Structure 1
Amino acid sequence: MQSPQMKMPLWLDKRAFLTPERPAIEVNGEKWNWAWLNKEAKGIARRLGSIGVSKGERVALLMDNSLNMVAVIHALSYIGAILVPLNNRLAAPEITWQLLDAEAKLLLYDSAFQEKVAQVDVDKTKVMAWSEMLTYVETDIDLQTHIELSDIHTIMYTSGTTGRPKGVILTYGNHWWSATSSMLNLGLNTEDRWLVCTPMFHMSGLSILLRSVVYGITAVIHKDFDPVKVNQAILQEGVTMVSVVSAMLSRMIEGVTMEGYPDHFRCMLLGGGPAPRPLLEKCRERGIPVFQTYGMTETASQVVTLSPEDSLQKLGSAGKALFPTELRIVMGMKDVAPGEEGEILLRGFNVTQGYWKRQDATEKAIQEGWFRTGDIGRLDEEGYLYVLDRRSDLIISGGENVYPAEIEATLLSHSAVVEAGVTGVPDDRWGEVAIGFVCVSQEKNVAEQELILYCENRLARYKIPRRIYFVKELPRNAANKLMRRQLLHLLSRKQDEGVNEE
């Protein structure tokens, strides 16, 4: 949705010119400034050029969060090649399918994934370990120093709820406006240190990396999420901003005293779906500045965020649409009144133009210039968004809409429950009924009927879970988001075992 033929300087090249000595990235104590990162990225770009990678071709990365991954992402921009970040939790057949769909020229991988890559079978994709790529001599190729905002930067595959994943097309303009919108809401402090503890093959991690080069701030990168290390980074290493989902934040606050975090910490961005109110209240008690967000791969990260001044008075809201994005709540394509539930529609410069080679999915998702998110929400009288659930996760019981997130929040408010997931199962009388899965604290004992009674005292009758199963862990993706569609796999496993583990 950005203006055609709109050029600007390539971000890393411009940043290295503006602030060459300012710290750019930090991994395990190793620090690169913008000048050094620029040098490394250009060197990798010239090596990729000698391999034969050129503008517009897709390059897939199967890598962990690292300095190398940061450098190669920026190197692709110097060539004009398109980044295809692969989820390193995928099985070899899933990787094979995505490489074929993207028509990738090259798969570049970390040696840790050698065994998995050996099972990948794609004739037209060159497969190369990072160490092998470094043996190539830098070729004297022309590196682009300007970008078109309409050019494709990323094809990122969504996990999807049914069928094959879709490749979301994101342009430089999508990423630029995402960074700009976030800054207009949260402000810009050149001393900020934004922690990346989610995978950079997901939008949450990648968006922080791209914002850092636009803003000129430091990205502190962790290989993966460790609540102890994240708290240490905030308490002792000057991290000022972190992006997490509810499950991550729950584990973090277990190690935080009532004194909370130091004054320099200014922003805990909380995404990944509706947040349980008990969790938000715990953070408020500790003075932790939690800003709920709403976004997705198709919007290049957050598109709705609670403003700092509203973080307490609008507890539970994701906020208002960031400038200049627009938001509607509709039934069909007709707007509903404030307070009424409907589908969330979005329009803005950071919203995808569609899906890679999926015209059918693109036409279904983008109608009359608006992106249909498939999520259910409502706006209050002041225009604040409350996200209720994914439409695909909605349970319709006896004609009533039942939102899993609401039941999960109720279960999580019980002192014994650490994690909760809710999904629907067929029922002869009601069509569907809710069932719950919980992980409980080892220090506390609780029975299924106790939790059901707890829900009965707090929820309408049609929302009460028919059964609650005790499990050791819930299915989550690499970004720690709950995967409700996989909860029924836990049910079939427990039926095979013939037990309800307590």
Structure 2
Amino acid sequence: MIPAVDWLAKRARLSPNRVALIEASTGRRIVYAEWNRRANQAAHALQALGLRKGELLAVLSTNRLEYLDLLFACQKTGVILQALNTRLTVPELQALLREIPPRALVYSGDLGEKAAALEEAVPLMIALDEPVRGTHRRWEEWVSRASDRPPAPILLTLEDPWVLCYTGGTTGLPKAAILTYGTITWNAVNTVMSWGLRPDDVAILNAPLFHTGGLNVFTTPLVHIGGASILCAAFDPDQVFDLLEREPVTLLFGVPTMFIRLQQHPRWGRADFSRCRIVISGGAPCPMPIFERFFEKGVPFKTGYGLTEAGPNNFWLPDEKTQRKPGSVGSPLFHIEVRVVRDGHDAEPGEVGELWIRGPHVIPGYWNRPEETAQTIVEGWLRTGDLAMSDEEGDFYIVGRIKDLIISGGENIYPAEVESVMLGHPDVVEAALIGVPDPEWGEVGRAIVVRRPGSTMTEAELLAYLRGRLASYKVPKSVVFVEELPKTGAGKVDKTALKRRFGG
């Protein structure tokens, strides 16, 4: 059993005066010594409220300083942070809390009414702002009178849970992945070593903290190396452009929909990314037009691959390969093994199969879900459910999800490829491809498309554009135009919702 260390206490001793956090809305800077004191106070407040090692603290909050304080207060006390997706409905959240009941729930004021609807499932309700019920505790009252000295040491090992982070949940009730001190530590080690993070790096943090992308793409690895995160309440294109002008941003992460919104913004043309060492997309296959527009600016834009159950950082593509291999995620990080499995055997280069991942960054399983754990993690290998292939140089490409694969007349259609081509049309803002039943071919593609405002593009015009760029069997047989595409809590296009509505 390897003991887990107090990250902020270590970092506060090693680099006490380095900036750790920048509050985007105010420009306020917090150094590591101050952040450690804040987390100590939060830890004492949790203990005063009666929380102990192994108990669950649910957090229903938008991004804010207190959320990050609580993350590391949990590390100091052994309390397990249960990160709730703020975009879920009350019935969905109630179902999660019935399955995994927490000891307490902390909520932000903007989510007060939603939190109040959950109070029957939670013994203790704590408000970060003004409580919506008289029975709820006010966090500030407890933390303001708490000591900023280190709490009494708690024996924790790398095997102990730190965070319960929910999967996307597009195929039923989301599963709570157990992120241990070890898995988060090894993701940080892999990222710092393989991506080359530095103490002077500064990242924009606008992915939600209830998602592994917000917690672990850059945030926790930067604590490991002593860098800084600019904390944003949410993703806002104007704010991103402001920060690029005002702050020394070197790291930028987003999901494809975020980069699409940036590139469609009026400020895109004059945006300067020259200080950014890493601009990387994740969470879903990235359409080719996004790459091309970054390459026009001289930015070595790349896509990564991750999931809640592993990392989420797993691969790296060196800058010199980005324009030669757009869309490749590169090769596995330092302490990670991968396989592409096809028909029970390792696939040859160029063959598509299921991606399997092994390493100390992989979760031990799902909370209270032994059957799903056994199906997903087999002899140490995480079966991702994603389709991938490698090339002759050992670089990998993510093709799509197994469940999204469309088999039409015996031919495999990978939606990500078709979506990338559709997004190359100047009148297409967003696009998704789903499979629908067909009496002749078994299944065919249906495109769900959001047009540029003011566009009168017809189905026939879009299909003619695609026929000139895709094999005939890949061209959708129908197009549905919509105002917007539904998104999951992580900002990905919700294919399950699209299939329910348009898959008949």
Q: Does 1:186 align with 2:195?
A: yes
Residue in 2 aligned with 1:17? 13
* 1:466-481 matches, cutoff 5 A: 466-481=477-492
SS in 2 for 1:185: helix
Alignment partner of 1:162 is 2:171: yes
Structure 1 window deviating more from structure 2 (121-130 vs 339-348): it is 121-130
What is the CA distance between 1:234 and its match in structure 2? Answer: 1.5
1:201–1:300 Cα change, 3 Å: same
1: CA distance, partners of 2:170 / 2:407: 17
Instruction: Tell me the number of residue pairs that the alignment of Structure 1 and Structure 2 aligns.
Output: 489
- Which residue does 2:140 correspond to in 1? 134
Give 2:133's aligned residue: none
Q: Comparing 112-121 with 128-137, which one deviates more in the overlay?
A: 128-137
User: Deviations 1:164-186 (Å, cap 9, x if unpaired)?
Assistant: 21111111111111111111222
Q: Which amino acid aligns with 2:208?
A: P
Structure 2: distance between partners of 1:201 and 1:264? 28
Q: Does 1:90 align with 2:88?
A: yes
Amino acid at match of 1:19: S
Asked if the contact 1:149/1:171 (under 8 Å) is kept, the reply is yes
Of 226, 249, 271, 2:236 maps to: 226
The one of 210, 218, 221 equivalent to 1:201 is 210
In the TM superposition, residue 146 of structure 1 has moved relative to its aligned partner by 6.7
Q: Aligned to 2:103, what secondary structure does the other structure show?
A: strand
Corresponding position: 1:362 with 2:362: no
Q: Identical aligned pairs, as a percentage? A: 36
Q: CA deviation at 1:160?
A: 2.5
- Aligned mate of 1:352, from 358, 363, 372: 363
Residue aligning to 1:214:
224
CA distance in 2, matches of 1:54, 1:420: 47
Pairwise CA distance, 1:438: 1.1
Letter in 2 for 1:77: Q
1:451-466 correspondence to structure 2 within 5 Å = 451-466=462-477
Cα distance between partner residues in 2 of 1:417 and 1:429: 29
Tell whether the 8 Å contact from 2:88 to 2:489 is kept in structure 1 after alignment.
no
- Mapped to 1, the partners of 2:459 and 2:296 lie a distance apart of 29
Equivalent of residue 327 in structure 1, options 331, 338, 342 = 338
Amino acid aligned to 1:238? P
Q: Is the 8 A contact 1:10 1:145 kept in 2?
A: no
Residue among 78, 81, 100 paired with 2:79:
81
The residue number in structure 2 matching 1:407 is 418
Give the equivalent residue in structure 2 for 1:297.
Answer: 308
Structure 1: where are the runs of 5+ without partners?
496-502
- Counterpart of 2:132? none
Return the TM-score normalized by structure 2: 0.93
Q: Which amino acid aligns with 2:495?
A: R
Deviation at 1:296? 0.4
Give the conservation status (yes or no) of the 8 Å contact 1:258–1:286: no
1:434 is matched with which residue?
A: 445
One-letter code aligned to 2:213:
S
Aligned equivalents of 1:349 and 1:335: distance in 2?
A: 21
Match of 1:277 in 2: 288
Which segment is superposed worse, 222-231 or 157-166?
157-166
Distance of aligned partners of 1:145 and 1:220 in 2 relative to their CA distance in 1, 3 Å threshold: farther
Counterpart check, 1:246 vs 2:256: yes
| Cα 1:282/1:49, change in 2 over 3 Å | same
Question: Given that residues 99 and 125 in structure 1 are in contact (C-alpha distance below 8 angstroms), is that contact kept between their aligned partners in structure 2?
Answer: no
| Aligned residue number for residue 395 of structure 2 | 384
Kindly provide the CA deviation profile for residues 468-492 of structure 1, in whole angstroms up to 9, marking residues without a partner as x: 1111111112332111111135538
Change in CA separation of 1:262 and 1:361 when aligned onto 2, cut-off 3 Å: closer
Give 1:31's aligned residue.
29
Matched, 1:6 2:6: no
Deviation at 1:332, TM superposition (A): 4.1
**What's 1:153 paired with?**
162
CA–CA distance in structure 2, aligned partners of residues 142 and 248 of structure 1: 40
Instruction: Output the CA distance in 2 between the equivalents of 1:301 and 1:147.
Output: 23
C-alpha distance in 1 between matches for 2:297 and 2:109: 42
Displacement after TM superposition at 1:103 (Å): 2.7
| Aligned residue type for 1:226 | D
1:124 Cα shift? 5.0
Instruction: Show CA shifts across 1:320-349 (max 9, x none).
Output: 111110111112431111100100000011
How big is the shift at 1:135? 2.2
Question: Gaps spanning 5+ residues in structure 2: where?
Answer: 130-137
Deviation at 1:368, TM superposition (A): 2.4
Partner Cα separation in structure 2 for residue 351 and residue 444 of structure 1: 45
Alpha-carbon spacing, 1:266–1:122, altered in 2? closer, same or farther (3 Å): same
Query: Does the 8 Å contact 1:246/1:271 carry over to 2?
Result: yes
Distance 2:319 2:305 in 1: 15
Change (3 A) 1:228 1:289: farther
CA RMSD of aligned residues (A): 1.9
SS in 2 for 1:350: coil
* DSSP-derived class of the 1:127 partner: strand
Match of 2:275, SS state, is coil
| CA–CA separation in structure 2 for the residues paired with 1:141 and 1:405 | 49
**Post-superposition shift, 1:259?**
6.8
Instruction: Work out the CA distance in 1 between the residues paired with 2:123 and 2:221.
Output: 30
Distance 1:192 1:182 in 2: 13
The CA deviation at 1:86 is: 0.5
Counterpart of 1:498? none
Taking the aligned partners of 1:121 and 1:22, their CA distance within structure 2 comes to 40
| Of 176, 185, 189, the match for 1:176 | 185
In structure 2, the CA distance between the partners of 1:99 and 1:257, relative to structure 1 (3 Å rule), is closer
